[in-house]
Amino acid sequence: MTCDRLVCANCAGPVSEGRCAVCRANRERLHQESPFGAVTPATLMALLIALIAVALVIRQAA
């Protein structure tokens, strides 16, 4: 999970901006818990396309 769309209950600002101590603490917690927290959907799509391309190359070679 990323903190891009999360709203802080303390200051009502985006957690990604880190306006208050609660935002900053939760942002750090999210980044430490999830090693793939910084992986965006676009990156996942690119990895999926690369995996499909590799599978097709292997299939053609066999």
Total domain count, the chain: 1
How far is it, in rounded angstroms, from Cα 7 to Cα 39? 20
Please check whether residue 54 lies inside any domain of the structure.
yes
Please check whether residue 6 lies inside any domain of the structure.
no
Cα dihedral 42, 24, 33, 9 in deg (nearest 10): -90
How far is it, in rounded angstroms, from Cα 54 to Cα 23? 41
Please check whether residue 4 lies inside any domain of the structure.
no
Please check whether residue 2 lies inside any domain of the structure.
no
Six-digit token string for 26: 């939760």
Q: If you count DSSP H runs as helices and E runs as strands, how many of each does the chain have, helices first?
A: 2, 0
Q: What is the pLDDT of residues 14-60, one digit of tens each?
A: 888 888 999 888 888 877 766 666 677 888 899 999 999 999 999 99
Please check whether residue 10 lies inside any domain of the structure.
no
Please check whether residue 9 lies inside any domain of the structure.
no
Task: Give me the pLDDT at residue 40, please.
Answer: 78
How far is it, in rounded angstroms, from Cα 47 to Cα 55? 12
Task: Give me the pLDDT at residue 53, please.
Answer: 97
Please check whether residue 27 lies inside any domain of the structure.
yes
